Chain A
């Protein structure tokens, strides 16, 4: 497919995205290298602490994505700020968010097995994350229901609000529920806070930043994909209408 020479303004978003991608990649590679090879093993956890350079960033992004999707949905519903891009933003953030949420659960589980002896514990944060995962899936299923753009967008936005307003309630309920039971003494599952200092702290910070960049990059691409799909749909509709008109004229 031959591309005519592009003018400068169109290139900039693409370039920005590419730079973002590169930066994110470098950050992740650095995090992995530091996390696996440079930082020392923990006093208590040994090498398992290395998973803590990855798991908390996953959780952070999962909830960040949820926040973005909720905010975007709200902005779409608010008449003064209603715009198509907010709906697409919500959808994009939700899809990327569900991936990170799944990874939070899996990485948490992998960390949990040697640490607590079980593949799953009813830790408030993990449990809320699990529920968030299912809420995301429901929201994405709702988005897939066919319909005219504005109808679909409004329906999804309201669905998002109903679901996501729930998350704080879930968190506090589960936290309270768990606090009523004895927490395991040796390693408290609710403590995702271990003592990090020195190189470990920097690596963790780098992890948070890098994966946030990854999230933004993924979201940008997902957003563009959404836009292209909408374009295709509109084109398909136009084509069908054209056909119909042609038939009407001919027949």
Chain B
């Protein structure tokens, strides 16, 4: 196979994989620091997350501040 073609595929796939894994890793690290269990919080994730279910252990004083306030005046 053409060396250019190989190089092209390797660079594209490699970069995207590396970027994707660093994102996931950064996310995990941030979660750990906050003490938040897996899964997003807040209402702004399109449609799904429901805050009212009430089982979410909200960490520290900061947790309640975070949820989208909706239209910001």
Contact = CB atoms under 8 A, between A and B. Distances in A.
A and B directly contacting (CB within 8 A):
yes
A10 B56 contact: yes
A238 B40 contact: no
B8 A4 contact: no
A65 to B, nearest CB: 13
Interface in B57-73: 57, 59-63, 65-66, 68-72
Contacts, number: 163
A99 B18 CA distance: 11
A231 B7 contact: no
B61 A235 contact: yes
A192 interface: no
Given A80-B71, A235-B61, A6 B37 contact: yes
A36 B48 CA distance: 39
Interface residues of A, number: 61
A168 interface: no
Interface string B1-41: 11011011101110110011001101100111111111111
A14 interface: yes
Interface string A46-72: 111011001100100000000000000
A84 interface: yes
A171 B65 CA distance: 43
A232 B30 contact: yes
B39 A228 contact: no
A51 B8 contact: yes
A234 B62 contact: yes
A227 interface: yes
In which size bucket is the chain B interface?
A: 35 or more
Contact of B4 (A4, A81, A111, A235): A111
A225 interface: yes
Interface in A205-251: 214, 217-218, 221-222, 224-225, 227-232, 234-239, 242
A142 interface: no
B50 A110 contact: no
Contact of B39 (A13, A51, A80): A13
Interface in A75-125: 79-85, 99, 102-103, 106-107, 110-111, 113-114
A113 B11 CA distance: 15
Nearest to A236: B62
A218 to B, nearest CB: 6
B30 A107 contact: no
Contacts of A11: 39
Contacts of A150: 72
Interface of B: 1-2, 4-5, 7-9, 11-13, 15-16, 19-20, 23-24, 26-27, 30-42, 44-46, 48-50, 53, 55-57, 59-63, 65-66, 68-72
Q: Ordered nearest first, which 9 A-B pairs have the shortest CB separation?
A: A235-B62, A228-B30, A85-B44, A9-B50, A47-B2, A3-B37, A13-B48, A238-B61, A110-B8
